A and B are shown apart, each in its own frame.
Chain A
Amino acid sequence: MKRMKRDAALKVIARHAGDSLVVAAYQAAFEWIVIRPSDCNLIATGAMGQASSHGLGLAIGRPDRKVLVLDGDGSLLMNLGSLVTIAEAAPANFFHFVCNNGVYEANGSHPTPGSDTVDFPGLALAAGYGSADAFDNLPDLESRIGDVLGGQGPSLIDLRVEQGEAYPQDYAYMHGAEHRAAFKAALRASGTGTAASDGAHGSRQPPRGRATTR
């Protein structure tokens, strides 16, 4: 299977992320906080699988902000029901990236169940996401990501990746109080999110059923 270097793919996303709130899990999290250092990053999701659910809470609580989730394939498999919950809530500001490397990288790189067969875009669309895309090369990701993030969520973006450069794995920072306090302060400094003028939550549209592989 063709794959991108994960950190290279994250750098592409970072160029289009603007001031988005970003929830990132495990390996992608360690890379993301170096690639886009910001108090608008939340990497303290506590338990494996919970990034997508944190992202949903943020998307509901702050409909004025775009929310990007940088999930892992193993993590999403641990919370697959969240696809249905997210689709039901239908936050238009929710963009769900899956860094799909086919393995539990933090735990010895053992294969994830169904690593050769699982179809995350198909699962997302079947759950009720409005759109889903898959990318396995950087030029296609670079050329299309602006349109994807300019569209309406909930949207799933399957990133076929492999490990790239090595980044520091600072678990003390990930689970530390300082990081969470900075995130909360950044949220509160930017308003309350009560003005849902864009109808970002609760405006469920019929699924567009768009699934593409780039």
Chain B
Amino acid sequence: MTAADHNGSLSGRAIIHAIKAAGVEYVVSVPDIVTSDGLLWPISRDADLTHIRVCKEDEGVSICTALAYCGKRALLLIQNTGFLDSINAIRAIAVEYDNPLCMMIGLQGKEPDVLPIQSDKVSVRIVEPMLDVMGIAYHLLQTTANTDAIAPAIEAAYRDDHPVCFVIGRSPSE
């Protein structure tokens, strides 16, 4: 993806449709301003999804994993800072234990028209390299067209027992 591909909007409704299509029943979250209006508030009101609020993101890593042990699919919806704070739990529980942790990360502070790796913000710029170094597959969601990747990626994560991450590059519309 190039910076030119960043034009357009990102539909929260399309994201929610995609995670439901992938069989996700639970969304575990710590609020993030990037995804608050377009994703988290609608999810919290959605009767088809069970929303679990956690105090800290690494709790969510464990809750999603334990739900997977039970044959239930979950999404961990967090902010980039929470991802960075949870690296050790993600490293151990998702990466070393080969568990299908599905994360969606809002890039708080990202400039609208640049790629995350080109951001002036360290907390934005290092997210994708951190995922790379941990060997976690990820997909940048910058426009609604990108949401086509969500359901197949979640299906693959649960089929093959590996984590996957969706990086939210701009605030989704409702």
Contact = CB atoms under 8 A, between A and B. Distances in A.
Interface of A: 42, 44-47, 49-50, 53-58, 60-62, 79, 81-82, 84-85, 88-89, 175, 177, 180, 183-184, 187-188, 192-193
A85 to B, nearest CB: 5
B63 to A, nearest CB: 4
Q: Across chains A and B, which 6 residue pairs bring their CB atoms closest together, nearest first?
A: A57-B66, A61-B70, A81-B55, A46-B92, A53-B62, A46-B93
A177 B96 CA distance: 9
B61 to A, nearest CB: 7
Interface residues on B, range: 20 to 34
B88 interface: yes
A82 B70 contact: no
B53 A85 contact: yes
Contacts of B71: 61, 187-188, 192-193
B41 interface: no
Given A50-B58, A50-B61, A188-B71, A55 B97 contact: no
B55 A58 contact: no
A183 B65 CA distance: 13
A175 B55 CA distance: 26
Given A46-B96, A47-B92, A187-B69, A57 B54 contact: no
B89 A47 contact: yes
A88 B26 CA distance: 15
21 contacts: A45-B62, A47-B92, A50-B62, A50-B93, A53-B54, A53-B59, A53-B63, A54-B63, A54-B66, A56-B63, A57-B67, A60-B26, A61-B66, A79-B56, A79-B59, A82-B59, A85-B55, A180-B97, A187-B71, A188-B71, A192-B70
Contacts of B55: 81-82, 84-85
B140 interface: no
Contacts of B98: 177
A57 B65 contact: yes
> Which among A44, A45, A46, A180 has the highest number of chain B CB atoms within 10 Å?
A46
Binding site secondary structure of chain A: helix
A148 to B, nearest CB: 23
A44 B97 contact: yes
A96 to B, nearest CB: 14
A49 to B, nearest CB: 8
Nearest to A202: B50
> Which among A60, A88, A175 has the highest number of chain B CB atoms within 10 Å?
A60
B63 A60 contact: yes
B64 interface: yes
Contact of B88 (A47, A183, A192): A47
A57 B64 contact: yes
Given A56-B63, A82-B55, A184 B93 contact: no
Contact of A58 (B70, B88, B93): B70
A184 B69 contact: yes
Contacts of B50: 60
A56 B66 contact: yes
A85 B55 CA distance: 6
A83 to B, nearest CB: 9
B118 to A, nearest CB: 32
